[in-house]
Structure 1
Amino acid sequence: MLDNNSQEKEFWEKVRAEFLLDPQMTFFNTGTLGAMPRRVLERTVNHLRLTAEKIAEWDYYGPDWISGYQPWTEVREKAARLINCEVKELALTENATAGMNYLANGLELKAGDEVLGTDQEHPGGECGWKLAARRHGIIYHQLPLNKPIKSPEEVLETLLRAMGPKTRVIAIPHLITGSGAILPVREICAEARKRGIFTVIDGAQTVGHIKVDVRDLGCDAYYGSFHKWLCAPAGNGFLYLRKERAPEVWTTLASTQWDNQEDHGFRLSQRGTGNLSLLLGLDEALDFHFELGPERVYARIKQLGDYLRARLQEVPGIKIFTPLHPQMAAGITVYNIQGLTGNYLQDELWKRGRLRPRSMGEVYGVRQSTHIYNSLEEIDRTVEILKSLATGR
């Protein structure tokens, strides 16, 4: 559905109006933090204000003022529906890094056990395994992947060659934060399950961005963040554990429900006094996403990303690090121009057009995230500035 369809264009303009983004600036860094819709911000702030003004009304019988101790089944049900799991399989966490560390710390691994990952992990997706390697003597093997990855098959073949008798865990991203590559997780998990290998999938960049169906993927664990593409307040994440294997993961943060074997999601949601205002913001963000229609959101993000990658190929000296394979990319695109750096590109795009992608350093240029509050026209403006930079103008 292209923007030359007047109804479609009008729909996305109305969606953009739901956000408080300054119209004189263009935000292209959802891969770090999504912009909250007005209604999400208002629900969050209204509860913060209520807590500040009316805390004396709290009789301590109900759970209406803090999070961290109650099951919050209604919110978990919505999140579970989003990724297609049972509510008792889903824990609420602060972010993807927390969920990942619950797994690296909670799985019983011994010296010599192998965990397979890639050399393109986010620090939040790898450091828990590095800690376990130093502390317990496990082997954390990070397999090299191309950048850009050419096909799903090359990733699957790399993992298959590495799986061995000592492999206990495969821990990989669903969508690589540093390139935007979508990995063939379903096929990898199927091969791992044949071998009894526990699969851990990093979904920090996926929920609200691409379809996530943990049943279809066949993974044992999946963790992610809601503050990026779902546009919830920062401080909201999740951990999914397949019920058949959930008992294998020990509790990391222990409170009253630390040994709840009936609701593993509640057990792993324990973290002491939490900010209920943020959780209510998540609840509102989930409602907003479902009202827009998840499939429509994913299609729009994919359309914008594909359009950006197609137009980037008009820029002299461009190097695109995101796969051009149609199944392997959506709303994140990483690119550079020969002879330039990420910091330079980021700064020039801001100075010349008030466009804000994120620098990825000396080699990999910038990461441009295109979300539902972005437009084809904003991408066109980006490309025109890049053409000027590429030709020295």
Structure 2
Amino acid sequence: MKSTTNRRDFFRKAAVLTGAFSCNSLYQQLFAEDLAAKSDLYKNVSAEKMAENEDFWALIQQAYPASSSPVLNLNNGGVSPSPKLVLDAVDRYNQMSNQAPSYYMWRILDQGREPLREKLALLAGCDPEEIAVNRNATEALNTVIYGIDLEKGDEVIGCKQDYPNMMQAWTQRAQREGIVYKQISFDFPIEDEDTIVEHYRNAITSRTRILHLTHVINWVGQIMPVKKICQMAHEKGVEVIVDGAHSFGLLDFNIPDLDADYFGTSLHKYLSAPIGTGMLWINKKNISKVWPLLCHGDPKSADIRKFETLGTRSFPIEQGIGEALNFHNGLGAGRKEERVRYLKNYWAEKAMSIPSVKIHTSLKTAYSCAIAGVSIEGMTPQALGQQLLSKYKIHTTSISYGNINCVRVSPHVYTRLSDLDRLVLALSRLAEENGNQSLNSKGA
């Protein structure tokens, strides 16, 4: 019996000593010293200038196994890969869990959720009691979409360029309960915030209760003026739900500063947390009135933890978020945002000069960061995306949705300039080939 107790004590101490926020974290062991030394060389350099410093970013690229992948991943807006230290952390926690799953998951790793909540809150600039940890933006936002009490005839306003899972959730509520789901539409890019605000303002009626707003439009990367829209909606007594799947962990902001009522995000995009991680933020005054998506003993509780009654979930993946936070914080939110925006502009500005190539995204700082859409005249998005992959091993996302027809390109901090040169060369050659084919077809 004594040896069993000692073994348990050993693993308990091991979990504490190697936790993401301990002095022995993998980030501290594997990366912190090198990043601190490199950062010290450029401590007086602005984030904007650092965006172009290839010496600094070479260190960051080395931290990601994806930087050496034979397939160039330019769909980080879908799911971003993690740095190696995050992958190692998940593996370590998984190995520990499988020694005795119900013991190490529930009694050891589960104790790490409160420190994780606090660190997420620090990044979000909010009270930890407003943060719930879950699996993705769909789960976070569906919790709110299905959890808010609405009556038959109450209106919800969204836009046709919102994310499909959220539109489907509102449509389902409308079908089941008789609420009215209205959608406005935009022709992006738009470089006038007031125009966007007025579109929402004009859609609001006396029956409007909820405005569903996407912070960064996933299709083409348009940044929406969230704060202005929230302030306008609140003046009319309308609450706002914000889909921050493509903004949190990339744009440098505090969630409460958006003036929203609810905010959901994925952490496996630009935060580079393990795949299958997300976060829900609810203004503390609203928690008690939102029903949890999954059952809870006290569904009207004002405790944010009522939204975490998921049953068995991957504790190793959840705890891996901590190492992703360490990496992000060491890098610096401002540096990260400016670097990714620089990478987007680097390739998009070059591509704009190619005959028959069109960029579907504003390149101005206020209106985009990571994502840009691109098309070649005479090619469908599907044909362009397929040829980028088959001929050049470049993975993107082809979009034909409503009034949006383009290929979405989204680099990340591990993306090299040479990778983007490869993309531009591919676009140039494909545009030329497509032009020649068109001429031959006309000549025939």
TM range (shorter): over 0.9
Query: What are the equivalent positions in structure 2 for 1:110-121 lying under 5 Å apart?
Result: 110-121=151-162
Aligned to 1:45: 91
Distance in 2 between residues matched to 1:3 and 1:89, nearest whole Å: 32
Task: State the alpha-carbon separation in 1 of the partners of residues 112 and 90 from structure 2.
Answer: 19
More deviation in 213-222 or 251-260?
A: 251-260
Q: Note if contact 1:18-1:37 (Cα within 8 Å) is conserved in structure 2.
A: yes
State the partner residue of 1:287.
Answer: 326
1:205, distance to aligned residue in structure 2 (A): 0.9
Question: Partners of 2:291 and 2:51 in 1: how far apart?
Answer: 53
Cα distance, 1:96 vs structure 2: 0.4
Per-residue CA deviations over 1:18-69 (Å, capped at 9, x if unaligned) read 11123543211111110111010011011111222x2179389x6325x5xx
Is 1:274 paired with 2:318? no
Shift of 1:110: 0.6
Q: C-alpha distance in 1, partners of 2:65/2:160?
A: 37
Counterpart pick for 1:58 among 99, 103, 112? 103
Q: Contact (CA 8 Å) 1:115, 1:171: kept in 2 or not?
A: yes
**Partner Cα distance (2:273, 2:412) in 1:** 14
Counterpart position of 1:327:
366
Which of 278, 281, 302 is the aligned partner of 1:237? Answer: 278
Q: Equivalent residue for 2:79?
A: 33
Aligned 8 A contact 2:153 2:180 in 1 = yes
Report the CA distance between 1:300 and its aligned residue: 0.6
C-alpha contact 1:258 1:270 (8 A) present in aligned 2: no
Whether 1:73 aligns to 2:114 is: yes
When residues 135 and 56 of structure 1 are mapped into structure 2, their CA distance, relative to the original with a 3 A threshold, is closer
Structure 1 segment 1-150 matched on structure 2, within 5 A:
8-21=53-66, 22-52=68-98, 54-55=99-100, 58=103, 63-65=107-109, 67=110, 72-150=113-191
- Tell me how far apart the structure 2 counterparts of residues 115 and 160 of structure 1 sit (CA, whole Å): 13
1:373-384 correspondence to structure 2 within 5 Å? 373-384=414-425
Distance in 2 (CA, whole Å) between partners of 1:56 and 1:293 is: 35
**1:334-353 equivalence runs, <5 A:** 334-353=373-392
TM-aligned CA distance change 1:4 to 1:347, over 3 Å = farther
> Does the CA contact (< 8 Å) of 2:61 and 2:415 recur in 1?
yes
CA–CA separation in structure 2 for the residues paired with 1:39 and 1:59: 21
Separation in 1 of the partners of 2:278 and 2:419?
30
Would the alpha carbon gap of residues 93 and 44 (structure 1) be closer, same or farther in structure 2, given more than 3 Å must change?
Answer: same
Q: Which residue of structure 1 aligns with residue 441 of structure 2?
A: none
Deviation string 1:122-177 (CA, Å, 9 cap, x unpaired) is 11221111111011111110101113224222211101111121110000100000
Match of 2:395 in 1: 356
Separation of aligned partners in 1, 2:263 and 2:362: 23
Local SS of the residue matching 1:64: helix
CA distance in 1, matches of 2:244, 2:49: 33
**Inter-CA distance 226–257: structure 2 relative to 1 (3 Å threshold):** farther
Where 2:153 maps in the other structure, the secondary structure is: coil
- CA contact under 8 A between 2:288 and 2:301: conserved in structure 1? no
> Hey, what's the Cα distance between the residues in 2 that align with 1:254 and 1:86?
24
Q: Is the 8 Å Cα contact of residues 336 and 413 (structure 2) preserved in structure 1?
A: yes
Distance 1:280 1:59, change over 3 A: closer
Helix, strand or coil at the partner of 2:146: helix
CA distance in 1, matches of 2:297, 2:315: 18
Q: Distance in 2 between matches of 1:387 and 1:38?
A: 34
SS class of match (1:149): coil
Q: Secondary structure at the match of 1:233?
A: coil
Partner of 1:254: 295
Is residue 375–residue 381 contact of structure 2 (8 Å, CA) maintained in 1?
A: yes
Q: Give the conservation status (yes or no) of the 8 Å contact 2:97–2:104.
A: no
Contact 2:90/2:317, CA 8 A, preserved across alignment:
yes
Q: 1:154 to 1:321 in 2, by over 3 A?
A: same
Select the structure of larger CA radius of gyration.
Answer: 2
Question: d(CA) in 1 for partners of 2:58 and 2:112?
Answer: 37
Contact 1:100 1:125 in 2 (8 A): yes
Question: Which ranges in structure 2 are unaligned for 5 or more consecutive residues?
Answer: 1-45, 437-444
Cα distance, 1:354 vs. partner? 2.1
Instruction: Give per-residue Cα distances to partners, 1:251-278, cap 9 Å, x unaligned.
Output: 22123564432x2x21112211111001
C-alpha deviation, 1:314, in angstroms: 0.9
Deviation at 1:352, TM superposition (A): 3.4
Matches within 5 A, 1:145-164: 145-164=186-205
Distance 1:3 1:219 in 2: 28
Which SS does the other structure have where 2:308 is aligned? Answer: coil
| 2:357 paired residue number | 318
Residue identity in the other structure for 2:380: T
Distance across 1 between alignment mates of 2:408 and 2:145: 28
Higher mean alpha-carbon deviation, 110-119 vs 25-34, is at 25-34
Moved more, 4-13 or 296-305: 4-13
Distance in 2 (alpha carbons) for counterparts of 1:367 and 1:257: 43
Gaps of 5+ in 1: none
Distance 1:197 1:4, change over 3 A: closer
The TM-score normalised by the length of structure 2 is 0.82
Change (3 A) 1:290 1:193: same
Q: State the secondary structure of the residue aligned to 1:222.
A: strand
Bigger share in helix: 2
Q: CA RMSD in A?
A: 2.3
TM-score where L is the length of structure 1: 0.92
